[in-house]
Amino acid sequence: MSKWHFVTDGFVKNNPTFVLVLGMCPTLATTTSAMNGLEMGLATMFVLILSNIVISLIAPMVPDKVRIPVYITVIATFVTVLQLLMQAFTPAVYETLGLFIPLIVVNCIVLGRAEGFANKHSVGESALDGLGVGLGFTASLTVIGLVREILGSGSLFGWKFIAGDGILAFVMAPGAFLVLGFLMVLFNKYLAKK
Amino acid sequence: MAAASTLKNMALCLTLVCLVCSAVVGAAYVVTVDPIAAAAQAKTTASIAAVLPEFSGTPEQGSVEWNGAKYNYYKADGAGYAIISSTSGFGGVLTLMVGVAEDGTIHNTTVLSHSETPGLGAKCTTDEHFMAQFQGFDPAVKSLSVKKDGGDLDAITASTITSRAYALAVSNAVAVFHQLTDGGQGNE
Amino acid sequence: MEYFLIFVSAIFVNNILLAQFLGICPFLGVSSKLSTATGMSGAVCFVITLATVVTYLLNRYLLVPFGLEFLQTISFILVIAALVQMVEIVLKKISPSLYQALGIFLPLITTNCAVLGVAITVVTKEFAFSGTAPHMLNLGQATVYAIATSLGYGLAMCLFAGLREHLAGNDVPKAFKGLPIALITVGIMAMAFLGFSGIV
């Protein structure tokens, strides 16, 4: 019985953005370009995989009443480690993502998977689930970022294909909501057809 | 599947988790403290090199108070001063590094951080005509404000407020330069 | 005067939901009815203000003097979690009906990005209003900012709940029903709020 379905589930069936509708804040705020969306997704995936692994390991030993504070502490630890590593080795990305790196702690996806999956499954399965959901999240963010970048700045991953600016509304606040709304419609239509 | 929720278990679990997590975070901190400082230093060095003419040696850091606000600056021997100046822009704080050469003219400026509107005020980092105006600008003969306010600077199209903030930041830096070099002479 | 500027700017110009994108998950989930929206906003307002004051003091007197800023994320979230627990216990005792009405939403405020977001913003960001030099906020200004931010949150939520109640009775294309049309509505609201930029 292949365990890889845990990974592929995260892309379509359990897509955190379009199906589970979790982690909306970074989805809207950091997708001003495809690169930003990709970086945010990967940062979240880092925390997701590690926290899933650790929580799945310690779940049997944690008393039920204190499990939420314990899970939050574990997740916060990994987020702080990520913050420090990014500040040291990728300062430009750290500055672009700004406030949303520490906000990974309260990203419903991370706590949601820990509470809903990792504490009931084995370490291997939790790691794969973290990978799958993380990849699904990264893919969603990158796609949204790509659409906003093409329409809003006329560039593709930083490579400009028109001179001047695009429809700037798309790289600003309203564009985030509109693009997410329309992409959700497309995703739902695709799911309905399957 | 989880352990029993007795007071002893809960307290033990929480204490253990806190200890281990603190250790992990502490270790990460120790490992990254130097690279973080180095990265910040590299960024500052690159900015200083962008705004001042070529110089050798390490710039010395200092800070001074002018007009009620604190200004950080870097003094490069033989090249001038790189002064960090912040003002209130359209969308938030606009922070510039202004390189003032020893003769009091502006060598170059660079934006360290801003929250201006994309496509409008944010052009302060990409509009070449706007940025080039400041290179070699002599505040003694020309006026450091936008043409709308009677000065000699072209503003960014449709971004007068950002342009004004930029000009104000530069002129504040020039005033700080005068305070550092002639000790308070000249105020704007 | 500056307090007034902070107040106006936090509610309209930099609206926490429509400009800063914080607190979206409960915003999309709770806002289908005006009554739940107002109840939720009230709870969030209280938690944001209290959390901001406590974390500001924690940062000023414990983290900064000992050079422990890297512990901000962990300590702030634990303070928030503890505060929400306390609020739950107190609310259960003094107003059981309100406690019942809020139901699951109260513990969920812990994971509301708006609370942690405001707490971190207030201790890390420099603020500038026309005429003043950029500076960090003091405790009074931070409190006003927190109160104003949560009022802005409440305003956006109640406006949105009202719009959603209207939408529910309208003929929405099948693919757009539910979340998509809600998001598009918020997008148009965000566009309207963009008009406030630059007034302070």
What is this model's ipTM? 0.86
Q: Which chains touch C (3 or more CB pairs under 8 A)?
A: A, B
pLDDT value of position A2: 66
Chain C residues closer than 8 Å to A21 by CB: 25, 28, 179
Query: A115, A144, A185: best mutation site toward chain C, by most C Cβ within 10 Å?
Result: A185
pLDDT value of position A165: 75
Q: Which residue has the tokens 């609201």?
A: C189
Whether A85 contacts chain B with CB within 8 A:
yes
Whether C74 contacts chain A with CB within 8 A:
yes
Token couple for B68? 């009620």
Nearest to C70 among A80, A188, A189 (CB): A80
Compute the radius of gyration of chain C from its Cα atoms: 18
pLDDT at A175 over 80: yes
Q: Per residue in B20-71, pLDDT tens?
A: 998 999 999 999 999 999 998 898 899 999 888 888 888 888 888 888 888 9
Q: Per residue in A149-166, pLDDT tens?
A: 999 888 888 788 887 777
> Chain C closest CA to A2's CA: distance in Å?
34
**Across the interface, do A175 and C73 touch by the CB < 8 Å criterion?**
no
Q: Which chains touch A (3 or more CB pairs under 8 A)?
A: B, C
pLDDT value of position A173: 85
The predicted model gives A169-180 an average pLDDT of 88
Whether A25 contacts chain C with CB within 8 A:
yes
What 3-state DSSP class applies to B76?
strand
Q: Which chains touch B (3 or more CB pairs under 8 A)?
A: A, C
Q: Where are the domains of chain C?
A: 14-194
Chain B residues closer than 8 Å to C85 by CB: none
Q: Beta strand B60-66 with A155-156: parallel, antiparallel or unpaired?
A: unpaired
pLDDT value of position C31: 67
- Residue pair A136/A10 in contact by the 8 Å Cβ criterion: yes
Whether C113 contacts chain A with CB within 8 A:
yes
| Cβ neighbours for C179, distance < 8 A, ≥ 6 positions apart | A21, A181, A184, C28
Q: How far apart are alpha carbons A192 and B136 in whole angstroms?
A: 63
Pick the residue from chain C with its C-alpha nearest to B27: C70
pLDDT at A102 over 70: yes
| Per-10-residue mean pLDDT, chain C, length 200 | 84 88 82 77 89 93 87 91 87 82 78 91 80 79 92 90 85 84 90 81
Q: Which of the two residues, C169 and A75, has the higher pLDDT score?
A: A75
Query: C73, C126, C191: best mutation site toward chain B, by most B Cβ within 10 Å?
Result: C126
3-state secondary structure string, A127-153? HHHHHHHHHHHHHHHHHHHHHHHHHHH
> Chain C closest CA to B26's CA: distance in Å?
9
CB pairs under 8 A between B and C: 35
One DSSP character per residue, C88-146 reads HHHHHHH-HHHHHHHTTHHHHGGG-HHHHHHHHHHHH--B--TTS--B---HHHHHHHH
pLDDT at B177 over 80: yes
One DSSP character per residue, B99-117 reads EEETTS-EEEEEEEE--PP
Opening angle at CA B82, ends B81 and B84, nearest 5: 130
**Across the interface, do B13 and A171 touch by the CB < 8 Å criterion?**
no
**Across the interface, do A66 and B10 touch by the CB < 8 Å criterion?**
yes
Nearest to A63 among B4, B28, B36 (CB): B4
- Residue pair A137/A17 in contact by the 8 Å Cβ criterion: yes
Token couple for A34? 């495809």
Write out the H or E segment, with its range, that includes residue B166.
helix B160-182
Q: Where are the domains of chain A?
A: 5-193
> Chain C closest CA to A184's CA: distance in Å?
6
- Residues of chain B whose beta carbon is less than 8 angstroms from a beta carbon of chain A are 1-6, 9-10, 13-14, 17-18, 21, 24-25, 28-29, 31-32, 35-36, 39-40, 43, 117-119
Write out the H or E segment, with its range, that includes residue A193.
helix A173-193
Write out the H or E segment, with its range, that includes residue B10.
helix B7-51
> Chain C closest CA to B1's CA: distance in Å?
24
Pick the residue from chain C with its C-alpha nearest to B93: C128
Pick the residue from chain C with its C-alpha nearest to A81: C70
Whether A123 contacts chain C with CB within 8 A:
no
- pTM to 2 decimals? 0.87
CB pairs under 8 A between A and B: 77
Whether A173 contacts chain B with CB within 8 A:
no
> Chain C closest CA to B57's CA: distance in Å?
30
Q: Per residue in B99-155, pLDDT tens?
A: 999 888 999 999 988 888 877 788 888 888 888 888 888 888 888 888 888 888 888
pLDDT value of position B188: 37
Nearest to B28 among A65, A81, A119 (CB): A81
**Across the interface, do A64 and B2 touch by the CB < 8 Å criterion?**
yes
Which whole-number Å values give the CA distances from C153 to A60, A83, B28, in the listed order?
39, 28, 36
Whether C23 contacts chain A with CB within 8 A:
yes
Among A30-39, A43-52, A117-126, the minimum mean pLDDT is found in: A117-126
Q: Which of the two residues, B184 and C191, has the higher pLDDT score?
A: C191
Whether C34 contacts chain A with CB within 8 A:
no
Chain A residues closer than 8 Å to C110 by CB: 72, 106
